[in-house]
Structure 1
Amino acid sequence: MIKLKAKKDDVGRILFKYLIKVCDNVPVSRIEKAFREKDIKVNGQRVNDKQYKIQLDDIVEVYGLQDAFKPAEKNTSQINFKLIYEDKNIMIIDKAVNVAMHSEENCLDDQVLKYLNYKKTSSFRPASIGRIDKKTSGLVVYAKNYKTLVEFEEKQAQFDKVYQFVSDFDEDFLDITVRLKKDIKNEKMIVDQNFGVKARTLFYKEGNRKYAKILTGKKHQIRATLAYLRYPILGDIKYGGKWAKRMYLHSYSVTFHGLSEEFSDYNDQIFIAQPRW
């Protein structure tokens, strides 16, 4: 039997996901079995409602579990991001080119955890709000607590996200919507105006600088749309761009909008990272 006490960063998470996150050495099927067999108590009462929302200081007991927690591993990441902004709720980072967000050695997630000296004390760990490609540099927002993560993920469709790029694009302004679908064989997105999901992008120039503002957040949206327009990004070999030392796409700015009263101080705040090329 294991006994857990809910912390501040657990509040609001449903019981099923809470147990999956905390008991990270236990298969999901074993957690499901505990619900089926009513082997879970919350504050002394048997519970089999997966959707129960965790409250502060809840005592959760699960019978029949052993070795429920993975041992902590030493984080050997080398921090190479540039910190743009940080407070108690968020971090805004300028990610270096050719750094993966997740699941690779020295990925950005691991770098952030090392920077924060993260130690697991709850079901939450700092997490990115959205993501950018490995070959794309620039701004990434991280939530430092669960309440912030839920709020920013829920409202991120209202944020203004602008990218800077280098290509032969030569129009002052273009508002274009395409439909994208996966090309599984070639691991990329292609335009299919009959069957794909809608992706809308505003492209514009300011002097000799070229920008893309995404109005929908679809995978490879800017890269695939520019390839479709026959203006592939310099260095984006996958989408027909000319070879270069890097892919010249950079997450340039983010402006927050639509956040609730508790987070209203962030509304209309703009954060910028200049490309390092």
Structure 2
Amino acid sequence: MHKRFASDKYFKRLDICLSENFDISRSFSSEIIKDGRVYLNSNEIKKASASVQEGDILDIYFPEEKEKIQLRPVDLSLKIVYENNWYAVVDKPSGIAVHPSESNNDVTLVNALLYSLESLASEGEEDDRPGIIHRLDKDTSGLLIVAKTFDAKKKLQNLFKNRKISKKYICICAGNPIENIYEIENMVGRHPVTRYKMAVLKEGGRFAKSRVVVMERFESAFKAEVKIFTGRTHQIRVHMAHLGFPIIGDSLYGGKKAAGYPIQRQALHSSSLSFFCPFERKEVYFEAELPADMKKLINVLAE
């Protein structure tokens, strides 16, 4: 939806101008500015801090309102690893997205949680991600923590934000590494050309750190444990590809080197989580065994 607006006074910031004149929040104003939906005197502008002069012409292209996603419980035989009054730890199978979208609002982790748990932290009727604190890619399996109360959600989010939760993954990668341990620290952000991919960047991006420990070697592949110290999108997949050892089955980052193996997705599994529980006041540790497809891959590689 397009709206044109002539400012009748000076505004120190563009986001304040939009918020006051269109009855929208400053955060939403900043979001549409960053998305390139705002033009100032026919020039695209992406800085919320830009000033607006009296007489300036603003063209705003508001996103179309999305139809509210209808959430319903679905029995997906979700494995509950642990549950208490505040949160649950679940073992997400591969092939299932964490939260619903316009094209898929039935076969997601959220649908399975609504069926399997009596309560989930929700921020109201518009919340289409109840209980969700962190994510795994659709084709990554393994452990996730979900919040059952709003208070628990805030406290667990703070633990993730402050890097108080230890997360380890098991992956099976192509190649023959010289070392047994790799520490990877760099900046990760959107690929400069292929925007749906992430990449290691020389400029920009966000700091990402992973530690890779080789656990088992095969003729042209290996099994590794990866501890992530940050939680960037596709972090492990990007880091392993950057090292030259892409995760087997990863069609987005692996190329030909990771193809041709007997597995239909990236061989990546969230295997363990540990943290000091602020509710039970003790250290907790959870683990999930490798799924059948990764076990089968290891058996084939070991032959």
Tell me the equivalent position of 1:264: 281
Q: Which region of structure 1 is more displaced relative to structure 2, 142-151 or 111-120?
A: 111-120
Tell me, which stretches of 5 or more residues in structure 1 are unaligned?
1-28, 33-69
Q: Which region of structure 1 is more displaced relative to structure 2, 119-128 or 90-99?
A: 119-128
Deviation at 1:169, TM superposition (A): 5.6
Decide whether the 8 Å contact of 2:87 with 2:152 is kept in 1.
Answer: yes
Separation of aligned partners in 2, 1:159 and 1:195: 26
Query: Cα RMSD between the aligned structures?
Result: 2.8
Separation of aligned partners in 1, 2:176 and 2:79: 29
* Amino acid across the alignment from 2:210: T
**CA separation of 1:225/1:145 partners in 2, compared to 1, >3 Å: closer, same or farther?**
same
Separation of aligned partners in 2, 1:74 and 1:159: 29
Corresponding pairs, count: 208
Deviation at 1:71, TM superposition (A): 11
> Higher relative contact order by CA 8 Å / sep ≥ 6: 1 or 2?
1
Separation of aligned partners in 2, 1:120 and 1:158: 21
Give the alignment's TM-score, normalised by structure 2: 0.62
Deviation at 1:79, TM superposition (A): 1.8
* Amino acid across the alignment from 2:272: S
* Amino acid across the alignment from 1:145: T
* Mapping of residues 1-277 of structure 1, within 5 Å: 75=72, 77-103=74-100, 104=104, 105-117=106-118, 123=124, 126-156=130-160, 157-167=163-173, 168=175, 170=177, 171-183=179-191, 185-208=194-217, 209-240=223-254, 241-243=258-260, 244-257=263-276, 260=278, 262-265=279-282, 268-276=283-291, 277=294
Q: Which region of structure 1 is more displaced relative to structure 2, 128-137 or 74-83?
A: 74-83
**CA separation of 1:80/1:121 partners in 2, compared to 1, >3 Å: closer, same or farther?**
closer
Decide whether the 8 Å contact of 1:137 with 1:251 is kept in 2.
Answer: yes
Separation of aligned partners in 2, 1:166 and 1:126: 32
Decide whether the 8 Å contact of 1:126 with 1:145 is kept in 2.
Answer: no
Decide whether the 8 Å contact of 1:78 with 1:106 is kept in 2.
Answer: no
SS in 2 for 1:213: strand
Decide whether the 8 Å contact of 1:82 with 1:94 is kept in 2.
Answer: yes
* Amino acid across the alignment from 1:166: I
Deviation at 1:143, TM superposition (A): 0.7
**CA separation of 1:222/1:87 partners in 2, compared to 1, >3 Å: closer, same or farther?**
same
Separation of aligned partners in 2, 1:72 and 1:154: 27
**CA separation of 1:111/1:31 partners in 2, compared to 1, >3 Å: closer, same or farther?**
farther
Tell me the equivalent position of 1:21: none
Separation of aligned partners in 2, 1:250 and 1:120: 25
Separation of aligned partners in 2, 1:238 and 1:226: 12
Separation of aligned partners in 2, 1:30 and 1:111: 37
Separation of aligned partners in 1, 2:120 and 2:205: 42
Decide whether the 8 Å contact of 2:167 with 2:227 is kept in 1.
Answer: yes
**CA separation of 1:214/1:120 partners in 2, compared to 1, >3 Å: closer, same or farther?**
closer
Q: Percent identity?
A: 27
* Amino acid across the alignment from 1:182: R
**CA separation of 1:121/1:86 partners in 2, compared to 1, >3 Å: closer, same or farther?**
closer
**CA separation of 1:112/1:228 partners in 2, compared to 1, >3 Å: closer, same or farther?**
same
Q: Which region of structure 1 is more displaced relative to structure 2, 162-171 or 231-240?
A: 162-171
Decide whether the 8 Å contact of 2:92 with 2:143 is kept in 1.
Answer: yes
Tell me, which stretches of 5 or more residues in structure 2 are unaligned?
1-21, 26-66, 218-222, 295-303
Separation of aligned partners in 1, 2:214 and 2:85: 36
Give the alignment's TM-score, normalised by structure 1: 0.67
SS in 2 for 1:109: helix
Separation of aligned partners in 2, 1:154 and 1:118: 21
Decide whether the 8 Å contact of 2:246 with 2:253 is kept in 1.
Answer: yes
Deviation at 1:206, TM superposition (A): 2.8
Deviation at 1:115, TM superposition (A): 1.3
